[in-house]
Structure 1
């Protein structure tokens, strides 16, 4: 995913390891051709953007329209979604939920939900709710974490960059899963995030980290002077409640401000000028060890995470890896997380007062060498 200039946006805003994919067992779940039920009840759908739901197309679909955003969801919107999802999952009347959003928000929202919702119930992120109905109707969808339903009938894991790690395929009549239900290592029940940072599922924005700005993406954009960087980088910038949490989010606060910058555009003067106005920073690594080791971040008053933008890689993989030994002193590597995902996880951590490099190394999937 490309990015717009972070600093043009940012200055304006200041004023305003997964289980390996192997076909070791294929599971097939039949879905009734005229049914869109979830556990025999209604299908709850939250609309935040994307394709509208026709009221006459499905009699047992209940929709809640929070907004119809055409741009990247900001942190206030993410908390509104989290509160509504949390309420729905707690109701017990459904085995899961479908969230419809715009294309720009797929990565932010799917990763956000993957981290903050610790539930076996099915959460499907999609641009069109019809793509998600067969998945929600599959009993084998539970226990897989947040899922992304693509237009190609392929089901993807929400933990990874959009449309990169398929876990199954679907049609109107059946869903075929590539392997038994399991969750990626990052969010597994025995993961560091679940065992040591269970507070990441809270639905409150911490007043000590909130800022006055909620515009233009949840936590800042990414800087690149090149003309082909045209999309705003999103930021899922705090935690939301998992099933079982009863607290509600605040609509009057926004989460930590965590912009994304390119390493080539970094300067000490610029960082000093940002100073106390940001709570964290994501740096897109240039991929050259010379650049990545010349700057020390040990003295800055906010956490810094380095990530690789593999979206334009020559092999089209869209997933890269950066170890902690490849980043400057005082910074943390995002491992295989994309810049947007690094921004999201760092914001969640900051909101829950997890800011030291040693603690952040525990939650980011990077080498501990």
Structure 2
């Protein structure tokens, strides 16, 4: 989620109006949020893992605030023992949540990126209004549709952008990523990876890409801890530790690590690299299917750096470079596959395509040079 702060009166540390870009299964949407009613005091706001009891409705009636006030008093608070409802994500919806009813949403799971963005900085008992408009051709044609109506409606352009209210009734405690133990972070990484695979299988490419991006952001912060684990093992065998790594750990390194050593599984260095490579590869596949070829190239390059033996990563890199017209680099990528797997039919086919395009380019260049000198 990309956030752009709008210069307007600021309350506390959160601006009164904020804009950002969010994704849904149909594409990218620009979101504008502003507060309704009086801002409350306190630091109790949603963080990763917080279970939030919220209600979303289309903004229409003038007595929205009064209606919300009455409902808020009679609705049970969020309980950490409760489970989020299984609300299926849909390719034909803008918001991936039910309207006009209280429901539970867990921050960080990416059920609806728009709603999670709106919840940032909110306190229990507060309310905001948000407007959404499409950022590409497909979503722009649906800018006036209802949150859970088809994105492909062709009459949206003549309608105003959808405007909704979001009410946060209550929430359970969560954690910022820097407060998590390595084991807790690794658990989130694995859940994002699994969720990304499920969404990809259901054709929700934007949602899958969001999951893999969330996982990559978390797994990067784990690098120090996994390196620390590896160095600690070497230390037991009589190998000196890297003092720079110890200094990079919060709260003195050893004490913090000992405190959380029994929390949950923390990956060893090899497992960390393997999963990180898989995440970058999966992300590159999503980016390629979304036509984001430069991003797909960069992600697949990272995957090959982490796992040079991955023929799938090299193949994705070659495909992205072909789309970008980087034919020499594409030929090198496909050639790498044949070094690892000489009988790869797909690599040989792709290499023939690259050589054919290079031959055509060379012929055209030769013709132009010939005309210049004649």
* TM-score normalised by structure 1 residue count: 0.25
The structure that is helix-richer by fraction is 2
TM score, norm. by length of structure 2: 0.24
Bigger relative contact order (CA 8 A; separation at least 6): 1
Q: Give the greater-gyration-radius structure (CA).
A: 2
